[in-house]
Structure 1
């Protein structure tokens, strides 16, 4: 998901934004030959994600900086754990510090929240998936973090799958189109590999969606009783996805209705960054 091109472009842009004309503090205050060793230390428990991104922030700043990752993406950590060690020219280490931390704290926060959702529904058949509610420009990073926490990725972009949502259906309804026929006509124009998802917000919409040949029926803001009824109605004719009203208190009940997928925008739009620090060794 995080290609080398995306990795270098996004991290490079962040570094340029943070130090467009260099780090005047480090340049003015620190000797050019000063060397620093710093540890990435956890201040609270969490799930690690973004190790490669963290290392890239330092490598793009100064290729002579070495980053030794002690934890892999997806590893759980505890307060006081040293997650990585950075060694190299002090000016470069301190110039890249904030950008490296910003990425790894954000990504570890998403991984930690995702892991909590996965744990909350353990033992059910459902899987947790993210959505397109990501920070513009950071989707690849945030979606990688979801997988670090044990979640799954939904479609990456508008180009990846057909996903007819409420506003698409509203346009069809306004124009007097028959939903099942419109879906069949659309599917006839698509490559056979293209997945088709249709979102519904009422149980009475489901038969037309099934008749139209959708691969996934997305049940938006359904009650638990309606979810159970929809799962029974759909059977094995399509993947059953639930969304809306999902939080850590409700996710298990939703999973126990028998749905296949639960998509949660909060994984990426509401995750809190984990408290990590970069501590320079003074001994």
Structure 2
């Protein structure tokens, strides 16, 4: 067995890879992160700021996942939020880890003296976060919320799989501005929960995501393209008559202004500055 230091590795469109790199730094480990072709410099720089070695794939997200999977050996631990045959435990743990978010949401609803949400809109990439959402809001011991899974029009791998009745892979690469959702294949470990627990599948265009970013900015919420997809999905639900005035709608925004240049172009002003976290 090798005695070389352990390296954590991941494929990412942004947030997941930065989190893996941050954890590696906290543990005194090195990290290697692979991003899809076309990933903007700001997201690459954010990951590199955590001490990671960042490389760019020639292909899309699914290609980056396959490339990182091949890195696994005695000194490289792959930390992926999507699964494949023979690699299920870590992605399952990641889904479990998202429960922290929903515990915090429950506390905030309770602090406000309000029952929980009746509708939850969740942005969907490979489906790991959506699986956690289903686990939180479709429990048999509680009144279930309606769970709406929101995907880009050209990266709707979960909706396509739902129509097919099985996990399928979209043809070609996905190029939505909702970069964190540009996935071509659902995670098999997430699929059972997602396929059985999601009530509504919604697809949104890039223009709808841009409009959602502006609407959120108008009420002081800084949300990037992928994060704002949930709001865009809720707008579609309302237009289709699926929301009523008494609904309590939870919008899950999965990113801030991770591409500040695009954010300013879309919203019309730069994202508010905030102090950087102290170095650790």
- Provide TM-score, normalisation by structure 2: 0.28
Q: Which has the higher contact order (CA 8 A, sep 6+)?
A: 1
Larger radius of gyration: 1
Q: Which structure has the highest strand share of the two?
A: 1
- Provide TM-score, normalisation by structure 1: 0.28
